[in-house]
Each structure stands twice: as C-alpha cells, then as structure tokens.
C-alpha cells in the first residue's frame, strides 16, 4: 500500500496530533497520506469525513478514535469501496484492533502489504408505509425498532421470509450483524457471533413475556420484517427505527421495517487472525 487517508475523531483531543504523526511517518517512507479536515456537524450528511474528498487512488482509510468513530466512518464511506482499519485511542474496542503501542509496526506492515482483508456483513433496511418505501439506509452494527420516548412498550409482529412468527410487547427489537452481536445486542442478552459469518441475530429488548425473551439466529439470506402494531391516534409513545444510531425515523402503526443482508460488505483490514478472540477475552474479563 502506498496511498492512505486518515479520518480523526476531532472530538477527541489526541486524534489530530496522532493523525499528523501517522502522515509524517508514511510520507517519510515514500507513501502519500492525507488527513480528513474537520467538518461542521450542522451539515447533517457527514460527521467525520466527506467521501467525495477522498482521493481516488486511496488504498487504505485509517480511522482514529474508537468503535463508534469507525461505525460512523463506515456510513460516510458507504459509496466508496476502500478497505478500512481502526486505531483505538480510547477503551478496548472490538472493531478498532490497533492501539498506539502497535501503531507504527502496523504502518510498516501496511507499507509492506503484510495484512489480510476480512469482509463484514452489512444490513439494508427499508421502511414500508402503505405499500411504499419511504426510507432506506444501511447499517454496520444493527437496525433497531424501539420507542422514541416515554416508558410505554412497543407492540409489533415479526415475520421471517414472509411468514408470521410472533407478536411482541417489548421495549423493542435489535436486528444485528455478526459485527453488531458484540454491541447493543450483547447488552440485551444476545449471543456473540464470529464477525466474518453471514448471519442475523434478532434480540428482543426487555420483552413482556418469557416466551419471547430468546434471541433468534437466522441465515444471511433471510428476509426480516417488523410490523408496528397499534392505532393511529395512539401518540403516547411513537416508535422509531434506528440505523446504527446514525439516523432515526419515526414510525406509524402498520409501518414495516424490512431488513435484508446488505449487497456490499465492509472490507476491514486485519493484521492478526486471532485478534477478535484476544479482544473478546480481554473485554469479557474486564
């Protein structure tokens, strides 16, 4: 690799100085490296970077921050097929496997093409209202149906491949990728899945009945639909669809969230094939 682009999380003080050190290190060794400028949060479309500003010859995007920064960067780069690697500058992360201690060794290995690529499944979600698709987005971690405010439960039905499975009264439902299985889904009691697998996990959030408390693991070719139940005049608690906490869309009764495997996986740069298990062991033993 010879062409790099660095995306710092400017809300963390250490990231920009670290980005400058990375650029100097790479340029001194004959590579090119640009740093994403800080963008105004008011633009609404991008938080950390504008994908149109990334040079076409870029071979590697380096994200500085943590798992949240990396997930946001994936959204920003969803129309660019560029391998991405995360440098963790905070707590132990599942996605950002590189830390400051191993940073320069990692850069040397990237320059020498000593790495491998791991494809991570994404989700594509559509909101269907009265037979029309009103919103579509992608998610790297999860798509969530949950209440937007108040303490009233959400009432919804689950369909898999067009077949009704169950009614739910709960705080919501998480549809997670294997990558997202170590995020909110894990906190809600869901299983951990190998990040390179192609599976969905559906994890209910605080269901009212014990029978609906279990997570459901489905193959990657499944079609999942969550239909909001209730009456139009019931405004006490308006449910929302959340895409990686990147966007939220208010829902109405009879709206459906349709979730399928994304057409384009995320290409993650990996330096160590056992890093997921090492990180998992450290995280679970904290």
Question: Is the separation of the CB atoms in 129 and 106 below 8 Å?
Answer: no
Strands across the sheet containing 132-139: 132-139, 123-129, 256-261, 224-228, 154-160, 163-170
Using DSSP, state whether 90 is helix, strand or coil: coil
Residue 222 neighbours by CB distance under 10 Å: 16
In the numeric block, the tokens 């992360």 are attached to: 93
Round to whole Å and give the CA distance between 79 and 58: 14
- With 0-12 / 13-18 / 19 or more C-beta atoms within 10 angstroms meaning exposed / middle / buried, residue 202 is buried
Q: Which of 50, 67, 81, 137 is catalytic?
A: 67
**Residue 52 known to be catalytic:** no
Enzyme catalytic residues:
67
């Amino acid at each position: 690799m010879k062409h790099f682009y660095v995306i710092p999380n400017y809300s963390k003080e250490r990231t920009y100085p670290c980005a400058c050190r990375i650029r100097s290190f790479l340029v001194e060794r004959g590579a090119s490296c640009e740093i994403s400028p800080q963008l105004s949060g008011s633009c609404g479309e991008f938080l950390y970077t504008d994908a149109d500003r990334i040079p076409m010859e870029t071979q590697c995007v380096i994200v500085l921050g943590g798992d949240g920064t990396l997930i946001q960067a994936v959204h920003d780069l969803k129309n660019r097929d560029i391998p991405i690697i995360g440098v963790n500058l905070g707590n132990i992360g599942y996605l950002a496997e590189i830390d400051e201690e191993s940073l320069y060794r990692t850069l040397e290995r990237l320059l020498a093409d000593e790495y491998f690529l791991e494809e991570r499944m994404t989700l594509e979600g559509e909101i269907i209202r009265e037979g029309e698709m009103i919103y579509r987005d992608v998610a790297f971690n999860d798509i969530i149906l949950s209440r937007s405010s108040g303490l009233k439960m959400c009432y919804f039905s689950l369909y898999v491949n067009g077949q009704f499975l169950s009614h739910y009264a709960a705080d919501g439902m998480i549809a997670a990728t294997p990558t997202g299985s170590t995020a909110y889904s894990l906190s809600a009691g869901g299983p951990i899945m190998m990040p390179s697998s192609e599976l969905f996990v559906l994890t209910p959030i605080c269901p009212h009945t014990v029978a609906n408390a279990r997570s459901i693991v489905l193959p990657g070719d499944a079609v999942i639909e969550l239909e909001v139940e209730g009456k139009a005049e019931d405004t006490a608690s308006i449910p929302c669809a959340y895409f990686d906490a990147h966007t939220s869309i208010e829902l109405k009764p009879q709206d459906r969230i349709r979730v399928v495997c994304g057409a384009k996986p995320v290409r993650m740069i990996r330096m160590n094939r056992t890093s997921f298990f090492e990180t998992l062991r450290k995280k679970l033993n904290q």
